[in-house]
């Protein structure tokens, strides 16, 4: 009776871990999100996305006038240097 030896080679297929950083002006979209996917080898692939909230701006200005037709509160919307809402409120009193 002859003895035989069987050699088995097992290779570990790679899994992936990816981190993505992005920004938003929307407070509801900010946070850390983790997604579980399958990579091209059939192994787990974890993607972690960190979305940082960019600041919006609000400015209040006041002034006076002699004409009652020019008095009131005026609100305008703009975009700041980050592309987020920038609200300017101008209150003119008599």
Which pLDDT tens digit goes with each residue over 53-85? 999 999 999 999 999 999 999 999 999 999 999
> Euclidean distance between the first and final Cα of the chain, in Å?
113
Is the predicted pLDDT of residue 32 greater than 70, yes or no? yes
Q: Which two tokens stand for residue 67?
A: 């004409």
Torsion of CA 14, 32, 54, 79, to 10 degrees: 90
Q: Which two tokens stand for residue 41?
A: 């080898």
Residue 70 — φ and ψ, nearest 5°? -95, -5
Residues 6+ apart with CB under 8 A from 4: none
In the prediction, which pLDDT does 10 show?
86
In the prediction, which pLDDT does 3 show?
83
Q: What is the DSSP letter of 43?
A: -
Its pTM surpasses 0.85? no
């Amino acid at each position: 009776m002859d003895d035989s030896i069987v050699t088995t080679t097992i290779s570990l297929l790679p899994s992936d871990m990816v981190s993505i950083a992005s920004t938003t002006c929307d407070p509801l979209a900010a946070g850390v999100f983790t997604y579980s996917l399958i990579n091209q080898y059939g192994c787990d692939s974890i993607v972690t996305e960190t979305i940082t909230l960019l600041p919006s701006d609000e400015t209040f200005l006041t002034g006076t006038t002699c004409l009652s037709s020019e008095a009131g509160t005026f609100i305008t919307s703009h975009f700041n240097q980050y592309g987020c809402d920038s609200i300017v409120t101008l209150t003119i009193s008599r």
